[in-house]
Amino acid sequence: MIELSKAEFDVLDALWINYPATASQIIERLSDDKQWHEKTIKTLLGRLVKKGALSFEKEGRQYIYMPCIERADYTLKESQNFIERFFSGRIAPLVSGFAKSEQLSQQDINELKKVIDDWEKNQN
Amino acid sequence: MIELSKAEFDVLDALWINYPATASQIIERLSDDKQWHEKTIKTLLGRLVKKGALSFEKEGRQYIYMPCIERADYTLKESQNFIERFFSGRIAPLVSGFAKSEQLSQQDINELKKVIDDWEKNQN
DNA sequence: AATTAAAGACTACGCCTGTAATCTATAATT
DNA sequence: AATTATAGATTACAGGCGTAGTCTTTAATT
């Protein structure tokens, strides 16, 4: 699996918003949330390319970037990894931890019920 | 929040199994899963102490270690962090990702239902 | 045509991490 | 008492990471 650092993920996340995109577009998108220097983001783009998370095509003097991996795939793998490390691979204890510390809202509960419902419908 | 590396967490996790404990007991516990040199584990113990995750008392020539933080607290904070980063703070999309990729077992579903049940009982 | 500006490439640098090896002090053994 | 073994302290070192700065090339502007 491709391993990304936090900062690298944030850059990729800005690309996932909408792609393909140029470096300047990505820099623009990130400027709201992060105080990163343009050079920093370019470094991170380079590292992402090197890791195989991004590809690009030349367009004049610029590069047009594209993700090589999908967000859902990446986050699923990270989630599995996380749950394995901290909860021996079982998901309920994570949710239970949230419940115990009052971190669950009624909306969360409704959404979870829906996930369960959908799952059950799929198990005919 | 105390930030632990993966290796540091694994050492602390071995202590959480049962504490207080000596370095050699921790080394013993870790020997099943990890191919770590004794020196490596001692280094990690030292770093954990420095980070405030462990404390110890001298007992003759040895140290008796104790966690300064609880596993449930640590994993809850890590979970919040994780879910914030990858799912904008909402827990259902994580579970939903598992469901979509067929990562949920009937047991998981049952456990989740129980968590929801308990939560609802608590909302009198 | 000459100059400038901007894109990407390359270099930098200190801190964290994984992974120990060596040093030092002291308890245990001979 | 002298020697040895062992616990912890200190040192090491390469690679990843956050965070840019400088160099080089080429497109744009004067």
**pLDDT tens, B37-61?**
999 999 999 999 999 999 999 999 9
pLDDT digits over A57-92, tens only? 999 999 999 999 999 999 999 999 999 999 999 999
Enumerate the domain spans of chain B: 6-67, 71-122
- Residue B41 structure tokens: 């584990």
Check if the beta carbon of residue B14 is closer than 8 Å to that of residue B28. Answer: no
B83 Cβ contact list (under 8 Å, min separation 6): B89, B90, B91, B94
A and B: number of Cβ contacts within 8 A: 102
Phi first, then psi: what are they for B43, rounded to 5°?
A: -60, -45
What is the second-level CATH architecture of the domain A71-122?
Orthogonal Bundle (1.10)
- Residue A83 structure tokens: 């749950």
pLDDT more than 70, % of chain A: 100
CA of residue A109 relative to chain centroid, distance: 23
Q: Please state which of the four CATH numbers 2.40.50.140, 3.10.20.30, 1.10.10.10, 1.10.287.370 is assigned to the domain occupying A6-67.
A: 1.10.10.10
pLDDT at B124: 74
Chain B closest CA to A119's CA: distance in Å? 6
A42/A32 Cα distance (integer angstroms)? 17
Which nucleotides of chain D does any protein CB come within 7 A of?
6-12, 16-22, 26-28
Q: Using omega within 30 degrees of 0 as the cis cutoff, is the peptide bond preceding B20 cis?
A: yes
* Residues shown for chain A: 124
